[in-house]
Structure 1
Amino acid sequence: MPRSRLFEPLHLGRLQLANRIMVGPMCQYSAEDGCMSDWHLIHLGQLALSGAALLVIETTAVSREGRISHADVGLWNDRTQAAIALTLESIRRWSDIPIAIELSHAGRKASMDVPWRGGMQRPPGRERGWQAKAPSSLSCRPGQIAPKALDRFDLQRIREGFAKAAMRASRAGIDAVQINIAQGYLLHQFLSPLTNQRADRYGGSLPGRMRFPLEVFDQVRNAFPASRPIFAHLCASDDVEVGWTLEQALILAKELEARGCSAIQVSSGGIQPRDSAPAERENLESLARALKAAVAVPVAMTSPLTGYQQVEALVSQGTADLIAMTHTLLNAPRWPWLAAHSLGGRVWMPVQYTHGRAGLFWKR
């Protein structure tokens, strides 16, 4: 059987991964005042045993007002830091999987209800609702209360919030930080002309719209230990006319690489509500290939594919270096074990489970 590229090791900065499968960040909306709960131990614990090479903690707010919902995980004070540290301590008794965290600010997408209650905006003054802030006073949907435009004091607080969250992540034992510059959240909102209509130095031209995300990246890079990598989750296209484009994303990707970014996860859309299209996966693969051709650092992409050979082909054919799996692993948490068995790779599994397996893909 030909050697599997999916199960070859990969370096992200100084962090060595055993294979090319990453557990992508998946919001659980189950935190209590920003603190991880027992649910996160159950959820992350099973994924830490999956055989994937990297586990990324869900989008984590750097401030209370930066949460998507009242039930988001946060990292803005001692209590939220302690909750993450406790969860990691339990997981690491049984798994040595490297663990990263995605830091984010929701911007105009803040103060929403949890998805299973409709996910609609909870206006200021209502229970568990607050005033959202964004680059410009433009609401996500008709009928919603518009966010307040950020002033220079807000910008300073947010930059400091990202830096302090990175320091807290380091103290909690996190191995890497991923900055969310995608999915229509705050840093992506600065990039897109659809959501950034500022007249100051943080709007207008491409350098102006890139300025704040790059300042945040620099603050996080300076705050997090130099020996641990910083990644970027980057939107490569708004997928709408007159929005953020691939050509602009490639310029930003090169800037991030020059500033010390160790890997880039590519996604698209999110700036405006839209229906999923059948061609979305092919479009994302095209964006990943373009990004991979533009930068030297590894490129990750989220894939909904479940076929072992299909996912293998994404790596072996050069579409991406790392595959971020989300819903696939929710439905099949041991997918990497089965993929390794099918493709002739080797993957870690806990010793407690080895007596029930043939051992073909057990890696000590």
Structure 2
Amino acid sequence: MKLFEPITIRNLTLKNRIAMSPMCMHSAAEDGCISDFHLVHYGARALGGAGLIFLETLAVQANGLINAGDLGIWDDTHVPGLSRVVEIIHKMGAMAGAQIGHGGRLLGVETLPAVAPSALPYANGYRTPLALSEAAIFEMVDSFQVAAKRARMSGFDVLEIHTAHGYLLNEFLSPLANRREDQWGGNHENRYRIVRHIIDAVKTEWDGPLFVRISSTDYAEGGNTPEDFLTYGRWMKEQGVDLIDCSSKGIAPAKVHSFPGYQVPAATLLKEKLGVMTGAVGLIETGDLAEDIVHNGRADIVLIGRAMLRDPFWARTAADQLRTQIPVPPQYTRYGAWWLDNQPKPVSAPISNSAGKY
């Protein structure tokens, strides 16, 4: 089955084409540090058989949180905890991915100032953000660059830049949120400018696989469509982005008719037209659908979200649905007890301090 075949992206080989999608858990300490929950949560999904485990969005600035309890990567104090999660993911047999981003005008902490390309609220009843000055834009680029350095220091295997779901970089890309009249707004090239600077800056600190998550359509009149991302995606590929992770929506309130695989056509469009690797995401809940996507070349990997929250062993479930076998942790087989009894006994060590963070 293609779904369970290895895939090499730049200098990294994943054991299969299944990734856990970044999903905010809002369970960090107040300072954005890892808690015990994250060790168990991500470790369990790695043990469950996915080839790549993405952590939730790591905020590059303190006012970049999507909500209270989100993880951060804006300070060196975050590195020890992130390193511990990466270590556990590796020990459980998977590769670890860091998604770095900024919440922009969707900042979920009322005590911090929200920023955006333009002073436009998300919708009626939402607070109006501060429009970033040009100096603040360059500071943002620097924040992404340093975040990439910390991701490297933490031992991550894959880095993803978050330009989707209505957050800051999506706001710059979309004409619905970016009404600037300077070099950072207007036409496609100007709206892309901050992303261009960030990719270039990140690549000075990161030489591993680089992904970008996009919202391929805004589902709103006057907003971006997949055709716009043929332009953006071409530039991303030229800058050395290895894979475009194709999600959608978030820039404005919209009713979306979602169904299994509803976002896959955007991944297929970019893959076919640009010759770039893509990831498919969105209600991919069965092994049959996932296999169809990768076997027929509609995308290179699948990113599983809510289905993997319900079932940490989604990869094994998918294999059962496809009537194929994949390696299973020996502890979970009928011979597990015998296998454990015949292994060297490791020295136990505590996994956290009494505060439950790193």
Structure 1 stretches of 4+ with a deviation exceeding 4 A read 280-283
Aligned-pair distance for 1:111?
2.8
The answer to whether the 8 A contact 1:303-1:323 is kept is no
Two-structure CA RMSD over aligned residues (Å): 1.6
2:69 aligned to which of 47, 68, 71: 71
CA distance in 2, matches of 1:329, 1:290: 26
Write the distance in 1 (CA, Å) between the matches of 2:327 and 2:196. Answer: 37
Trace 1:50-199 onto structure 2 (pairs within 5 A). 50-92=48-90, 94-112=91-109, 122=110, 129-199=111-181
Say yes or no: does 1:270 pair with 2:250: yes
What is the aligned counterpart of 1:287 among 248, 266, 269?
266
Letter in 1 for 2:294: V
In 1, the alpha carbon distance for the partners of 2:326 and 2:316 equals: 6
Number of aligned residues: 335
The equivalent position to 1:43 in structure 2, one of 34, 41, 44, is: 41
Q: Find the counterpart in structure 2 of residue 26 from structure 1.
A: 23
- TM-score normalised over the length of structure 2: 0.89
Match of 2:305 among 326, 329, 333: 326
> How far apart, in 1, do the equivalents of 2:10 and 2:178 lie?
32
Contact 2:96 2:156 in 1 (8 A): yes
**Any conservation in 1 of the 2:260–2:284 contact (CA below 8 Å)?**
no
**Residues 141 and 197 of structure 2 are in contact (CA less than 8 Å); yes or no, is this contact kept in structure 1?**
yes
- Matches of 2:318 and 2:120, distance apart in 1: 45
Matched-pair contact (CA < 8 Å) for 1:254–1:294 = no
Q: Does the 8 A contact of 2:261 with 2:283 survive in 1?
A: no
| Partner Cα distance (2:196, 2:212) in 1 | 11
Show structure 1 runs of 5+ residues with no match: 113-121, 123-128, 358-364
Matched, 1:210 2:192: yes
Structure 2 residue aligned with 1:235: 215
AA aligned opposite 2:305: T
The Cα offsets for residues 166-189 of structure 1, whole Å up to 9 and x where unpaired, read as: 001111111110001111111110
- Quote the offset at 1:338 in angstroms: 2.5
Equivalent position to 2:286, from 297, 303, 307: 307
| Cα distance in 2, alignment partners of residues 301 and 162 from structure 1 | 25
DSSP 3-state at the match of 1:301: strand
Q: Give TM-score scaled by structure 1 length.
A: 0.88
Aligned mate of 1:261, from 224, 241, 244: 241
Deviation at 1:346, TM superposition (A): 4.4
Q: Deviations over 1:124-182 (max 9, x none)?
A: xxxxx211000000011212220000001211111011010100111111111000111
Residue aligned with 2:55, SS: strand
Unpaired segments of 5 or more residues in structure 2? 337-358
Contact map agreement 2:261 2:281 (CA 8 A) in 1: no
1:341 match? 320
Q: How far did residue 295 of structure 1 move? A: 2.4
User: 3-state SS of the aligned residue for 1:234?
Assistant: strand
Percent identity among equivalent residues?
A: 34
The whole-number CA distance in structure 2 between the counterparts of 1:210 and 1:233 is 14
| Alignment partners' CA distance in 2, 1:230 and 1:42 | 26
